[in-house]
Structure 1
Amino acid sequence: MTNVHEDVQNYYGQQLQQTTDLKTDACCSKADVPSFIKDILKKIHPEVVAKYYGCGLVFPPKLEGCRVLDLGSGAGRDVYILSSLVGAQGYVVGVDMTKEQLDVANRFIDYHTKAFGFEKANVEFRLGKIEQLTDDSGMKTNSFDVIVSNCVVNLSPDKKKVLQQVYEMLKPGGEFYFSDVYADRPVPEDLRQNKILWGECLSGAICESDLISGALAVGFTRPILVATDPIGINNVELQKLLGDIKFTSCTYRLFKSKSIDKSTNSDDKLGALVTYQTSIVHYENEFQFNESITFKLHGEPQYLNAELVKMLRMSRYSDNFKFEPITDEKQIPNTTNQVSNQQKSNDQSSSSCCCRPGTC
């Protein structure tokens, strides 16, 4: 294989000057942007926006006051949006290995500090590889509440190492929330040698089975699928090379395991009825937990099995929910919808966006 890091640095540092230079839609998000994010985007400098290369939205709820790390932060668009969301008491660190991108990001720190009305900057950008986070003496392990990444993990030649590094940097109970490109089958080796396809986030597309096994191996909870969007190649020459391979943008959330007070979950082995009880800013009406489960504020309790209850209890969202442990199997809802929700939540390998288990 070619030197992936050098090829990616060249592609994003020299060949691409703005979003419109991309040859496919893989690094162009089609997700609906919430109104509060649109309001923040209006304050982002146009040059930063023009150099955005992402395939999803990586802004999970309840970020105020959080310490956040953005992997592959590029020119800084997502970092600056996160800067606004975490507020003056929060802090955002962007890591990228491409100097040209970081030069743009650093040039506009003061601009965005003033635009958001902060007395001092709450962001910084660091030059480095996402496989080597713990080698940076300026960043401490177990120090981030949330880590995000937008269409970057696929660019790494060692995705298992990335997951291990993310796990090390997160606080116990912390969340890894990331969007990336997934393929419905393994990408052939000859295509993995193609520098343009690597740069376009296609040669390194992730296999879901690898994500699940890699995440569980380092200690994460099972990945939760939050959103999917089909990716169009829209380039005749590249489409011929790729053949029938289908690509999808998927957004997942993973939590770093932590111990939970036994007094709060001693009866969770059968799951619990869960209610969204206290609203989160910007999510006053509903909270989407995964692709198939959305909680309405003060709505009907939803049944979550023991694994999902544990994830929610260990997260920063826990205080916003009421948990009513199931003590008798007869209490478990038996509707088609509930069964479908649990199957989708637990058997991530059944989703349509990625490789089948055992194929990658």
Structure 2
Amino acid sequence: MTLDMADTSALTSENACSSVYNEVKEYYGKILKQSSDLKSNACVPSAKSVPEYVRKVLAEIHQDVVAKYYGCGLVVPECLEGCSVLDLGCGSGRDCYMLSQIVGEKGQVTGIDMTEDQLEVARKYIDYHMQRFGYKKPNVNFVEGYIEALAEAGLKEKSYDVIISNCVVNLSPDKKSVLREAYRVLKDGGELYFSDVYSDSRIPEDLKANKVLWGECLSGALWWEDLIRLAEEVGFSKPRLVTASIITVGNKELEKLLGDYTFVSATYRLFKLPKGSKEQPCLAIYNGNMTGAVGSFEFDAQYTFKANQVMEVDGDVASILINSRFSEEFTFQPPGVNVSGRCYSKPKDVSINPFELVKQLGIARVTSSTGGCCADSESCR
């Protein structure tokens, strides 16, 4: 099956898309009242530990917002102070309010979602959170619309520094449009940093038609190799795999329906690089001062930069660092230059396959259905 055939399946027809939208709205607006209502383990904690500064900001979020959180990872990229951030499929707004504190009062966070019931919760607590954060005016707003049609929702081209999404792309019937629209509204050098559910092979149409499997973020999951192809076709740089966790479904009835298909929760970072940007290897020296990454910056599963150490990076990563918001956090030198007095470090030799990465890094299988890393407020304190 070619990529075009996979992307233009029956599900992406106008009527089929409308049906999927209505079913997802029903599932997340009416059927699920809180994270404990989920019927599988797809919405799981992040494989990475939650940094202390993130725990502190999460503890400030109203419990009504947290209770309706259905994420499958932790979407807190580094170097966000003052940035304009868009959350695709923001739901009740938990991640928006988390990022509101991290971007600061001079930053801006926009959440977009198609489910009115979720947005009603998100909007209800804007004033509460702004007062709690000590902001004179809101730096958060919520928009009703579809993540496949950001222009129709009024979101302008090249208007965001960073886009995040947490376990939502799998719910879309048209993944390519999601990526295309994200690329359109990102500024040059901008990043799409998102966590989602992926399968070990393409899911057949009969399973995609199952409302519960789709609503539980399973049958709508992309084959991870299709993500790589779609992202590059849209124009993004090669996706960088940050972390991954194997998902155990945890429901015998759903497991029987799914058969041998397996799933992983994975976080990727995709960058929109300026046209004509060069991809040449270089030496990169991290200054060590980014919030949440003081002393060490884990860019992805392959590259961890330690402060003041020299790391030789490939052309792909060099182009990303030089052309993104990270450029001022590094000193760059041509390959082969003798950087005296500095220690050298090497990238890890890891797989780009998230299923293989789990094996290589020995990450435990995720089995608890917690509705995300902080469904229980006490775990954030």
TM-score by length of 2: 0.84
> Quick one: distance in 2 between partners of 1:322 and 1:226?
23
Other-structure match for 1:175 = 191
Is 1:71 the counterpart of 2:88 in the alignment? yes
Is 1:272 the counterpart of 2:282 in the alignment? yes
> Quick one: distance in 1 between partners of 2:80 and 2:346?
31
Is 1:153 the counterpart of 2:163 in the alignment? no
Aligned counterpart in structure 2 of residue 321 of structure 1, from 330, 338, 342: 330
Given that 1:247 and 1:353 are in contact with CA atoms closer than 8 Å, whether structure 2 keeps it comes out as: no
Residue type matched to 1:199 in 2? Answer: G
Other-structure match for 1:198 = 214
> Quick one: distance in 1 between partners of 2:50 and 2:182?
26
Q: Secondary structure at the match of 2:121?
A: helix
Given that 1:76 and 1:94 are in contact with CA atoms closer than 8 Å, whether structure 2 keeps it comes out as: yes
Is 1:290 the counterpart of 2:313 in the alignment? no
**Alpha-carbon offset, residue 298 of structure 1:** 1.6
**Alpha-carbon offset, residue 338 of structure 1:** 4.6
Aligned counterpart in structure 2 of residue 305 of structure 1, from 310, 314, 321: 314
Other-structure match for 2:373 = none
Unaligned runs of 5+ in 1: 329-334, 355-360
**Alpha-carbon offset, residue 340 of structure 1:** 2.1
Residue type matched to 2:286 in 1? Answer: Y
**Alpha-carbon offset, residue 227 of structure 1:** 0.7
Q: Secondary structure at the match of 1:213?
A: helix
> Quick one: distance in 2 between partners of 1:254 and 1:152?
16
**Alpha-carbon offset, residue 310 of structure 1:** 0.7
Given that 1:143 and 1:171 are in contact with CA atoms closer than 8 Å, whether structure 2 keeps it comes out as: yes
Q: Secondary structure at the match of 2:333?
A: strand
Unaligned runs of 5+ in 2: 1-10, 338-343, 359-381
**Alpha-carbon offset, residue 325 of structure 1:** 1.4
Q: 1:189 to 1:179 in 2, by over 3 A?
A: same
Is 1:244 the counterpart of 2:254 in the alignment? no
Q: Secondary structure at the match of 1:201?
A: coil
Aligned counterpart in structure 2 of residue 44 of structure 1, from 54, 61, 64: 61
Given that 2:199 and 2:262 are in contact with CA atoms closer than 8 Å, whether structure 1 keeps it comes out as: yes
Is 1:211 the counterpart of 2:219 in the alignment? no
> Quick one: distance in 2 between partners of 1:338 and 1:117?
41
> Quick one: distance in 1 between partners of 2:345 and 2:68?
45
Other-structure match for 1:103 = 120
Other-structure match for 1:225 = 241
> Relative CO higher for 1 or 2, CA cutoff 8 Å, sep ≥ 6?
2
Q: 1:65 to 1:185 in 2, by over 3 A?
A: same
Q: Counterparts in 2 of 1:118-129, with a 5 A limit? A: 118-129=135-146
> Quick one: distance in 2 between partners of 1:289 and 1:68?
19
Given that 1:250 and 1:353 are in contact with CA atoms closer than 8 Å, whether structure 2 keeps it comes out as: no
Residue type matched to 1:160 in 2? Answer: K
Deviation string 1:264-302 (CA, Å, 9 cap, x unpaired) is x7xx63x11211124112211210111121111123x11
Is 1:188 the counterpart of 2:197 in the alignment? no
> Quick one: distance in 1 between partners of 2:357 and 2:174?
21
Residue type matched to 1:94 in 2? Answer: G
Aligned pair count?
335
Is 1:340 the counterpart of 2:349 in the alignment? yes
Identity of aligned residues (%): 48
TM-score by length of 1: 0.89
Q: 1:190 to 1:353 in 2, by over 3 A?
A: farther
Other-structure match for 1:254 = 270
Residue type matched to 2:273 in 1? Answer: S
Other-structure match for 2:45 = 29
> Quick one: distance in 2 between partners of 1:155 and 1:318?
34
> Quick one: distance in 2 between partners of 1:208 and 1:240?
22
**Alpha-carbon offset, residue 337 of structure 1:** 6.0
Residue type matched to 2:294 in 1? Answer: E
**Alpha-carbon offset, residue 61 of structure 1:** 0.4
Q: 1:338 to 1:101 in 2, by over 3 A?
A: closer
Is 1:59 the counterpart of 2:51 in the alignment? no
Deviation string 1:311-360 (CA, Å, 9 cap, x unpaired) is 111110111112121159xxxxxx9965726xx4xxx3586379xxxxxx
Deviation string 1:191-215 (CA, Å, 9 cap, x unpaired) is 1110000000001111222111111
Other-structure match for 1:352 = 356
**Alpha-carbon offset, residue 28 of structure 1:** 2.6
Q: Secondary structure at the match of 1:168?
A: helix
**Alpha-carbon offset, residue 135 of structure 1:** 1.4
Other-structure match for 1:94 = 111
Residue type matched to 1:318 in 2? Answer: S
Other-structure match for 1:5 = 21
Q: 1:25 to 1:70 in 2, by over 3 A?
A: same
